A and B are shown apart, each in its own frame.
Chain A
Amino acid sequence: MTQQGQALKSGNILGAIAALTVLLFGGWSGAVIGWLLGTAAGLMACQGKKVATPKLGIRLGSKAGIALGVWVLVASLIQGVVLLPATGQSSLGLISALILGGIGWVVAILAGWLTGALQGLGPNRQRATAALLALTLIAFPLVDRLAETDWTATVIQILIFALLALGLNIVVGYAGLLDLGYAAFFAIGAYTTGFLSSPQINLEWNFWLVIWIAAGVAALAGVVLGAPTLRLRGDYLAIVTLGFGEIVPVVFRNLTDIRLYEPISQIIASLLGRPEWVICLLGCDRPFNLTGGEAGINPIGRPALPFIGTFQAGQYLPWYYLILCLVVFSAWIISRLRDSRLGRAWTAIREDELAASAMGINLVQTKLLAFAMGATFSGFAGAFYGAYISAIFPSVFDFSVSVIILCMVILGGLGNIIGVLLGCVIIMAADRLYLPQLAQVLKALLNNTVLPNISSPVLRDFLATSVDPLQMRLFLFGLTLVVMMIVRPEGLVPDSQRQAELYESEDESLAEARSQ
């Protein structure tokens, strides 16, 4: 494909997403999504090709931006003039819709232009792109607030899962150990935070200390789980980790009635000088409730910083920047791990365990380290989650969480940090942002336009109750995965090694077919 063609294609693919966004959200969302996806389009347009000069980059980037902008403009017009009245709101008017869409268009072109220009910078390209992305991420919540799109809360959720997906990628993507119970480590991180900074056992330690302890405890749990699974591979390993993932929430659900034999607790308590929580932990006169059972632990202490004070529930900015720092920090650490002696050892184990051990790799140590490192990042995620929601329940950490995280890793591209992050953004944004909004818009559309015109009461009832994308959530999710596995099994941004693995047999059969 020519470079121009690629630019156009990127603009159109992202344009379709942008158009959907504008149709669903309306208002200033066109400008915000034009800005975000315009940057992405600029990157995509110049990806994989050598962009020799900023000039060529500008041409490609702005071309992608223009294509993207057209989608935004058309969608703005449709949304403002057709969709709004159809859903029972007042029409925006042609002029206002045109202005809104036009602004989105211009923003998209500018974003594509700027990104493209940076891609042509030669040796400084990577640094410039990183700076641009950093600026975009830092500016996002401010722009979001200005444009009143209210996406920051969802983006925080996305980033929590990004942290989890990055951690799981170490275990599954790098070391090739299929872990189906990854949510257990998330739970362990969150509950550790719950124990150490809530009134549950009267420990209210500082969040900035607790988050490290939570990561450490999760890492330890990774080793504890990893140790018995060391001799297992493939399906067997998956089943054991699945079991662990099921057990951990059950344990937290049931640790509500701890009571030790009376004399023993008396002796231990007296030895320890009878601090209150020790006595109660050992069940002095009443059973001790450690985890709160189904009701969970509530409230959990929030982090505080000088000047900002304690982070508040409705104020997203400090939370957003905190989780953003955590994700960037983790991605940085993981990229270092990957290009190191340790990362090579992980890949070697994934490729051929026996040969790896014969080359001097200590299998026990290296696998346990993969489990521990993977769990560490979910420990961070758990600690943040506990403090952010300020309450944790065992039901949050069930099997579906493990599966969703695994899907993010596979959808984006096993073993590739960028791919994993992308997979996470796509799944979470679709699930938490687009689907609820789509449900809302569809409902309004049905109530105002379609239903009044249907005479048959049976059909009307059926439509009113059954057209709900939220109910089809899992179906859509499964459908996406099936389609992905057929169209692009290596994931959206695959790791070069993984891609090679998947197409290995295909190449051979192709070659065979040709030789015949």
Chain B
Amino acid sequence: MPLLEIHRLTKRFGGLVAVKQVDFTLEKGWIASLIGPNGAGKTTFFNMITGLYPPTSGRVVLENRDITGAPPHQLTALGIARTFQNIRLFGNMTALENILVGRHSRLQTGLIGTLLRFPAVQQEERQAKQQALHLLEFVGLGSRTAQELAKNLSYGDQRRLEIARALASEPKLLLLDEPTAGMNPNETAALTRFIQRIRAELQLTILLIEHDMKVVMGISDFVGVMEYGSKIAEGTPAAVQADSRVIEAYLGKEAP
């Protein structure tokens, strides 16, 4: 059974069709990439999967469950987490608090519990903090950054913190929107290794939007290519690289 199945997903903004009848299937345990020129509709596609945009038509199915048009907070609870292309951390909260917010959907405490602070609530809060510190360690930030305001972290650390925040919700499917944007080759290589480690240690399925071909070809089990809102090719990295339509989309048509 595939983890995520997408059937003929379409998004229309007025006259503009941003995503046109895209089918996509994601098997459990894959690292899959979505590539394509700027404006191809990749991020819109992400936003529909994570519930930020309701699709115009089509269906999104997570583990045989139709989740089309569900609000984002429900999707997080069902196990979809994401990062953003332009980092969207809670800048004036500490790194630790950012991760704790990411854990929101896995914590139970309601209003009554907050006010009366039962032992169980305190226990939950302690555990959440422990796990958050653990996650900071896991993404390579270490506990020294825990009390640092998120916006004071370096760019690379902010990217890592955003991933940690997404991981805090214990997702089955992790969506990374251009995780290596703005990174130098060293940082990119480190992040690539890190993504592989996430899959290995946490048994996640990962879907990423990426422009760096070295990253895409290096870690992907499966690649989908989009152009002008449509999917033009998909398959293994090698197959996609050889596809004439992909070459055309990236390099232009050969002169006759």
Whether A360 and B109, one on each chain, are in contact in the complex, defined by CB atoms closer than 8 angstroms, is: no
A369 / chain B contacts, CB cutoff of 8 Å:
111
Whether A361 and B101, one on each chain, are in contact in the complex, defined by CB atoms closer than 8 angstroms, is: yes
- A351-B91, A359-B101 given as contacts; is B109 within 8 A of A341 (CB)? yes
- A362-B73, A504-B151 given as contacts; is B114 within 8 A of A341 (CB)? yes
Residue B90 CB within 8 A of the other chain: yes
Whether B115 and A351, one on each chain, are in contact in the complex, defined by CB atoms closer than 8 angstroms, is: no
Separation in Å of the B83 CB from the closest CB of chain A? 9
Question: Which of the candidate stretches A197-205, A303-311, A332-340 sits at the interface with the other chain?
Answer: A332-340
- A355-B84, A360-B76 given as contacts; is B92 within 8 A of A497 (CB)? yes
What range describes how many residues of B lie at the interface? 35 or more
Residue B93 CB within 8 A of the other chain: yes
Q: Which of A333, A358, A501 has the most CB of B within 10 A?
A: A358
Residue B67 CB within 8 A of the other chain: no
Whether A336 and B104, one on each chain, are in contact in the complex, defined by CB atoms closer than 8 angstroms, is: no
Chain A residues numbered 272-316 whose CB sits less than 8 Å from any CB in chain B: none
A90 / chain B contacts, CB cutoff of 8 Å:
none
A344 / chain B contacts, CB cutoff of 8 Å:
93, 97, 100-101, 104
Q: How far is the CA of A501 from the CA of B149 in the complex (A)?
A: 11
Separation in Å of the A150 CB from the closest CB of chain B? 37
Whether B88 and A354, one on each chain, are in contact in the complex, defined by CB atoms closer than 8 angstroms, is: yes
Residue A347 CB within 8 A of the other chain: yes
The 5 closest A-B pairs by CB, nearest first: A360-B105, A360-B76, A351-B90, A355-B88, A497-B92
Tell me whether chain A's interface is mostly helix, strand or loop, or mixed.
helix
- A336-B114, A340-B114, A348-B101 given as contacts; is B92 within 8 A of A357 (CB)? no
Whether A345 and B101, one on each chain, are in contact in the complex, defined by CB atoms closer than 8 angstroms, is: yes
Q: What is the 8 Å Cβ interface bit string for chain B, positions 47-81, against chain A (1 contact, 0 not)?
A: 00011100000000000000000011100110001
B200 / chain A contacts, CB cutoff of 8 Å:
none
Taking beta carbons and an 8 Å cutoff, which residues of B are in contact with A? 50-52, 71-73, 76-77, 81-82, 84, 88-93, 97, 100-102, 104-107, 109, 111, 114-115, 117, 125, 149, 151, 165, 169
Whether B101 and A356, one on each chain, are in contact in the complex, defined by CB atoms closer than 8 angstroms, is: yes
What range describes how many residues of A lie at the interface? 20 to 34
Q: List 10 A-B contacts (CB under 8 A).
A: A336-B115, A340-B114, A341-B109, A341-B114, A344-B100, A358-B76, A359-B76, A359-B102, A361-B105, A500-B151
Q: Which residue of A is nearest B117, CB measured?
A: A336
Residue A363 CB within 8 A of the other chain: yes
Q: How far is the CA of A333 from the CA of B111 in the complex (A)?
A: 11
Whether B169 and A501, one on each chain, are in contact in the complex, defined by CB atoms closer than 8 angstroms, is: no
Q: How far is the CA of A352 from the CA of B90 in the complex (A)?
A: 6
Q: Which residue of A is nearest B76, CB measured?
A: A360
Taking beta carbons and an 8 Å cutoff, which residues of A are in contact with B? 333, 336-337, 340-342, 344-345, 347-348, 351-352, 354-363, 369, 497-498, 500-501, 504
Separation in Å of the A485 CB from the closest CB of chain B? 20
Q: How far is the CA of A348 from the CA of B52 in the complex (A)?
A: 17
Q: How far is the CA of A358 from the CA of B100 in the complex (A)?
A: 14
Q: 16 other contacts beyond A351-B93, A360-B105, A501-B92, with CB at 8 A cut-off?
A: A336-B115, A340-B109, A340-B125, A341-B109, A341-B114, A342-B109, A342-B114, A345-B101, A347-B90, A347-B93, A348-B93, A358-B50, A358-B52, A360-B104, A362-B71, A497-B92
Q: How far is the CA of A363 from the CA of B90 in the complex (A)?
A: 15
Q: How far is the CA of A345 from the CA of B90 in the complex (A)?
A: 11
Q: How far is the CA of A110 from the CA of B162 in the complex (A)?
A: 52
- A336-B114, A336-B115, A345-B101 given as contacts; is B88 within 8 A of A357 (CB)? no
Q: How far is the CA of A391 from the CA of B109 in the complex (A)?
A: 41
Whether B92 and A351, one on each chain, are in contact in the complex, defined by CB atoms closer than 8 angstroms, is: yes
**Option from B149, B151, B169 in Cβ contact (under 8 Å) with A359:** B169
Whether A363 and B115, one on each chain, are in contact in the complex, defined by CB atoms closer than 8 angstroms, is: no
A360 / chain B contacts, CB cutoff of 8 Å:
72-73, 76-77, 102, 104-106, 169
Whether A357 and B72, one on each chain, are in contact in the complex, defined by CB atoms closer than 8 angstroms, is: yes
Whether A357 and B71, one on each chain, are in contact in the complex, defined by CB atoms closer than 8 angstroms, is: yes
